Structure 1
Amino acid sequence: MDALHHLTYGVKGVDFVAVYDTTVQHIPLRKDLAHLRPPPPRLTDKRDIFIGVTAYRDGVKCGFTLWTAFARAAHPENVFVGVVDQTMADDVACIDAYCERARETWPTEPCKYKSQIAIDARSATTSKGPTVARAQLYPLLGDQEFSMMIDSHVQFAQMWDDLVIAEWVATDNEMAVLSNYPMGFEQLTADATFTGNYGSHVCNYVSRPGADAVVYYSGILTAFNFERPLLSVSWAGGFSFGKSHAWHRAPIDPYMNWVFWGEEFLHAYQLWTRGYDMYSPSRYGNVVFHNWTDNGDKHRFTDNVTLVTSQDQHNREEAMAYNRFRLIFQQSFSGEVDSREIDKYGSGTVRSREQFFTYANISNTDANKDFAACNQLHFVPYADPTELEALLPGWRFADSNLAAKDVVTVNNSVLHDLRRKLDDAETTVTQLRHAVEAARHEQTHAFQLLETARKELEEREQATLRAMHQTLEKVARQNSRMINGMSIRLRQIQQTSTHVYSELALVVLMLVTVLIALFGRCWGKRRSNAVAYTKLQATE
């Protein structure tokens, strides 16, 4: 089935069409945070459920509500109920009305499952409104894994416990709270099943006269063909379901005396700023149906204003409570304010007040800027996940991107853009992969060429060395022969020279002898002449 769904809503007389894609509702709008996701659901084998019911003089209908809870449950042994039953002296008590029906259904037991029902019986004359009564439910909560809050005049569908747990798991969010205004009894078939393809969604507001006025929802819108829970801005007292840690971490404010308008918006704020996300159930998660009829016997807490206190005191307490509402939201107000335990019941620290007003499409400065929060919503990342990480050991928000299952976009136009970018990125990655592979091949080829060149160079060097060696050996042999020849020649020359020199010496000796003889002869003749000359001089 197509993931896109439509819902029509009106604002100030103008109709609008909202388009939803539940497959992308957990993808944050901020691109730098788009990888973050809420923590995945943790489901134990307990799967027990606490149902909190507040009844104001509504015993008969309340008894029927409890009977359907047990009679139509797949596992009634896992169902536990707490009732704040506000009655007058002549009213039928919720537990009595239940036991009467239980005996008809299980006649062998006096009141089957009564041990699984806790009652806080109070006088209706002390009632100060539904918010205070809901706050009084908390001491009745045990250690059940899940908790549900409903009105006292509803009925459950067949196998509701299995269906609602499956619907909660389908949110894919441990911090999910299913909530809406239930549809009417007439939507159930005769065998208490629901076969429709639609569900209730709360996303619109009543127009406010000013920015300091309280915010409250305008009613039910019908959402068709939703296959999974739809992210929402609203919490409704008529039906809510989630993990029991939501009750412990975001308790309803007990100081909201007489507050009826705006208390649901306030509790949505308390939950959301503590890290919880509200969802409207899908077509498969409609398990509680409301009796919206009024045959004139319906009682309201405002009937006993003067029984509890004086009108003036009521007006003062109510004004102080609504100023408390404004103080929590940082709206302007005048007069007294009840600020007891304001930190405990006010803002959480996981998300901020400013983030909530942006998410809910509500202006804290100009009511004319308020607008229905019926368009596509997206998970808002936690500003401070410290509390949630302590609540869920082993989970870290920074690592939660690994749990993402839906990787597309935040709306239709961005969806196509991101898909295109994803395709481009995949193409780029593929090209890079191919380039890396090609580079690896080229590198391998280059290494092979280098290795071949190295081997060829080594072979050439070896060949050259061998040639040089051979040449040197040849030269050496040639030189050896030459040296040997020269040695022989020198010996021959030496021998020859010795004979010649002997002969020459003899000749020289003979010549010397001759010369000496000649010299002697000449020297004798000269001497004779000299004597003669001397004699001649003497004679003269």
Structure 2
Amino acid sequence: MPKFRLLTAAALLLFVANFVFHGRSAPRQVDAPGGAAGRSLVADGEPDVAAFAERVRLALRRFQERRQRQLAFARCNHTYGSRTDGFLPGCPAAGCVAWPSLEAAKAVCSQWSDCGGVTASREGGWFEPRARRVPLPSPAGEVSWVRTTNDEQCYGGLRGPWTQPPSQPNEAALAVSRAYTAVVDAALAETPALTRPRRPPREDGTIFVSIGAHRDPLCGATVRRAFARAARPERLSFGIVQHNCERACLNVTGGFGATRRYPPQLGADEDCVSAFCASPEGEPHCASGRVRILRLGEEEALGPIYSRFLASHLWRGETFFLQIDGHTDFRAGWDSALVQMARRTPSFPRSVLSNYPPEGSPASAAAWPRPTDAEERVERPAGGLCSYSYENVLPAGRLSARLGGCHAAAAGRAKPSPDGAGAASPRRTAFVAAGFLFSHASFLRLAPYDPYLPWIFMGEELAHTFRLWTAGFDIYSPNLDVLRHAYRRENTHKFWENVDRAFATGGIHNALVNLTVQRIQHLLGWPEAAQPSQVAEAWLLHRKDQFGAGAVRSRDAFDAMHGIRHNSTPRRQEPPGWCCF
């Protein structure tokens, strides 16, 4: 009997479509889909961010021998013998999953080197990839097809050298972090334009939308919804850094915790923009170069800050910069509403709009109409981010920070704008959220994204807030919501799971974070890393001044303004009264 539920015919059709699109690897480049075939957007004098990503891939590839062998095996042209009586014992590491057809089961078996063939029920109702290649007699009348490929031929073109990461995650993290830092050092020394953009923003009202998407099934819906509900879609441009799996892919089921499972996936992940760019509504935008995408493999996923650094170099001088995740919903007229709110902030253009948007998915068919005049006249209560709590990266490991709102007792109530007429202004808040940030694009020159913070998730928002605020930018919570964020995504891929698989070392992701977070601790002046001598490795602070505090406000002023008490017992951050109005 099959050990997992049978895959539906619809899933099989989706696999066929994905396999046709992803079956061949394209040269690494930033593409403008829908334009000239394979057109690269590097020719306008911008740094070649695709070449930078390729250098990083090659530097870390030597630590990923197991994954690289999987990919080489999956690229092979596999062959199978004729039908034979009996069953193949054992399950591949990915499990004995039943598929609705022989072709689908063979396609999955051909992705995994520990799969010896396919066994089916006598009636042909299910087909399972199996581990062994020698059939055994089956009392139930099962039949099998043995994979006959010479596996060593699959690895003939695979080239090292390989460096086996130490089995101990902390030692492995040191080796991988050192290699990453070395290649980034070399790339930035050779291409200074990678540190910050050369050009100032144009003042034409255009908006650049930055998306980092890790195997995100909602990325395509996000792009489609943003264009469909924009008041001026012709003013939008997207810069997408996509990390997808194309071969030897695992799926996710069972939610989180002990029930989480990783069965084999049939075919490649869905591309973020290919369907949109082939559609009547999307083709004009893609042909005009408004959609720029850098396609990377899942084994190249190094965390959100790395993706945002890459995406920032797809910016081409647009006036405004919107940072979101690939699972964001949009309100009708969202673009004009954000621009108007930003311009109403007292410190514009040195202002940032940010908060945790309410729950919502771009896959929802529900309408979300434009804000009414009454909505625009209401000043928001404490809807922004005013506090953070300290959390350990590992048990007894380094500290990081998780943002939050105000305590209930400190939060105020919604009230009309002071003069009773006209739109209300956004209110000051303490911290920025990574999933929604809108600003004048001049911040890219004053607080560029730091490429030396790979693997970081917790701590990204506090570090970004510090660098923006000390560079002279004030943070505001929007006075009305025009974006929603899909938070509840249990059966979706998380980049940190992939890091452990890519480097074949359990726990290496947490060890890498425990190492890298020291850069953030030093940046913020936390007592355990305030001095360079307190940081474990010198390379963790490379170019710390170039990607450090801004030149307008001091760290002491930041701590005082944001209620940060480093020397209290216990250490704490108190939500400032000006934020919790």
What TM-score do you get using the length of structure 2 for normalisation?
0.52
Is 2:446 the counterpart of 1:289? no
Task: Name the Cα RMSD after superposition.
Answer: 3.1
Alignment of 1:243-254 (within 5 A): 243-254=440-451
Query: What are the ranges of 5 or more consecutive residues in structure 1 without an aligned counterpart?
Result: 1-41, 379-410, 412-540
1:150 corresponds, among 299, 321, 324, to 324
**CA–CA distance in structure 2, aligned partners of residues 132 and 220 of structure 1:** 30
TM-fit CA distance, 1:48 = 0.5
**CA–CA distance in structure 1, aligned partners of residues 506 and 315 of structure 2:** 34
Aligned residue type for 1:47: G
User: Is the CA contact (8 Å cut-off) linking 1:49 and 1:148 kept in structure 2?
Assistant: yes
1:213 corresponds, among 399, 411, 417, to 399
| SS of residue matched to 1:86 | strand
* Equivalent residue, structure 1, for 2:139: none
* Equivalent residue, structure 2, for 1:74: 231
1:177 corresponds, among 352, 355, 365, to 352
Alignment of 1:211-290 (within 5 A): 213-218=399-404, 224-225=414-415, 227-283=424-480, 286-290=481-485
1:204 corresponds, among 375, 387, 392, to 387
**CA–CA distance in structure 2, aligned partners of residues 260 and 325 of structure 1:** 12
* Equivalent residue, structure 2, for 1:336: 537
Alignment of 1:10-409 (within 5 A): 46-58=204-216, 60-89=217-246, 90-99=268-277, 102-103=279-280, 105=281, 109=283, 115-173=289-347, 174-185=349-360, 190-194=367-371, 200-207=383-390, 213-218=399-404, 224-225=414-415, 227-283=424-480, 286-294=481-489, 296-309=490-503, 310-311=505-506, 314-331=509-526, 332-333=528-529, 335-336=536-537, 338-366=540-568, 368=570, 370-377=572-579
Name the structure with the higher helix share: 1
Give deviations 1:129-160, integer Å, cap 9, x for gaps. 11211111121011111111001101111111
Aligned residue type for 1:164: L
User: Is the CA contact (8 Å cut-off) linking 1:51 and 1:150 kept in structure 2?
Assistant: yes
**CA–CA distance in structure 2, aligned partners of residues 361 and 188 of structure 1:** 42
User: Is the CA contact (8 Å cut-off) linking 2:201 and 2:441 kept in structure 1?
Assistant: no
TM-fit CA distance, 1:349 = 1.6
Give deviations 1:52-81, integer Å, cap 9, x for gaps. 0010001x4111111122111111111111
Give deviations 1:315-352, integer Å, cap 9, x for gaps. 55323211111121222145335111111111112100
Aligned residue type for 1:326: Q
CA 1:254–1:268: 2 relative to 1, 3 Å = same
**CA–CA distance in structure 2, aligned partners of residues 153 and 116 of structure 1:** 19
TM-fit CA distance, 1:110 = 7.2
Aligned residue type for 2:205: R
User: Is the CA contact (8 Å cut-off) linking 1:62 and 1:97 kept in structure 2?
Assistant: no
User: Is the CA contact (8 Å cut-off) linking 2:309 and 2:451 kept in structure 1?
Assistant: yes
Larger Rg, first or second structure (1 or 2): 1
Give deviations 1:396-449, integer Å, cap 9, x for gaps. xxxxxxxxxxxxxxx9xxxxxxxxxxxxxxxxxxxxxxxxxxxxxxxxxxxxxx
| SS of residue matched to 2:404 | coil
Aligned residue type for 1:80: S
Query: What are the ranges of 5 or more consecutive residues in structure 2 without an aligned counterpart?
Result: 1-199, 247-267, 417-423
| SS of residue matched to 1:215 | strand
**CA–CA distance in structure 1, aligned partners of residues 330 and 414 of structure 2:** 21
User: Is the CA contact (8 Å cut-off) linking 2:466 and 2:524 kept in structure 1?
Assistant: no
CA 1:178–1:207: 2 relative to 1, 3 Å = same
**CA–CA distance in structure 2, aligned partners of residues 135 and 114 of structure 1:** 24
User: Is the CA contact (8 Å cut-off) linking 2:328 and 2:486 kept in structure 1?
Assistant: yes
Aligned residue type for 1:70: F
Give deviations 1:260-313, integer Å, cap 9, x for gaps. 111100000000111111100012xx221112232x431100111223323465
User: Is the CA contact (8 Å cut-off) linking 1:211 and 1:366 kept in structure 2?
Assistant: no
TM-fit CA distance, 1:211 = 13
User: Is the CA contact (8 Å cut-off) linking 2:432 and 2:465 kept in structure 1?
Assistant: yes
CA 1:211–1:92: 2 relative to 1, 3 Å = closer
| SS of residue matched to 1:206 | strand
* Equivalent residue, structure 2, for 1:416: none
TM-fit CA distance, 1:370 = 2.4
User: Is the CA contact (8 Å cut-off) linking 2:342 and 2:353 kept in structure 1?
Assistant: yes
* Equivalent residue, structure 1, for 2:60: none
TM-fit CA distance, 1:127 = 0.9
TM-fit CA distance, 1:113 = 5.9
User: Is the CA contact (8 Å cut-off) linking 1:62 and 1:98 kept in structure 2?
Assistant: no
**CA–CA distance in structure 2, aligned partners of residues 45 and 343 of structure 1:** 29
User: Is the CA contact (8 Å cut-off) linking 2:500 and 2:508 kept in structure 1?
Assistant: no
User: Is the CA contact (8 Å cut-off) linking 1:211 and 1:367 kept in structure 2?
Assistant: no
What TM-score do you get using the length of structure 1 for normalisation?
0.56
**Count of matched residue pairs:** 330
Worse-superposed segment, 204-213 or 148-157? 204-213
**CA–CA distance in structure 2, aligned partners of residues 113 and 179 of structure 1:** 31
**CA–CA distance in structure 2, aligned partners of residues 111 and 347 of structure 1:** 38
CA 1:188–1:207: 2 relative to 1, 3 Å = farther
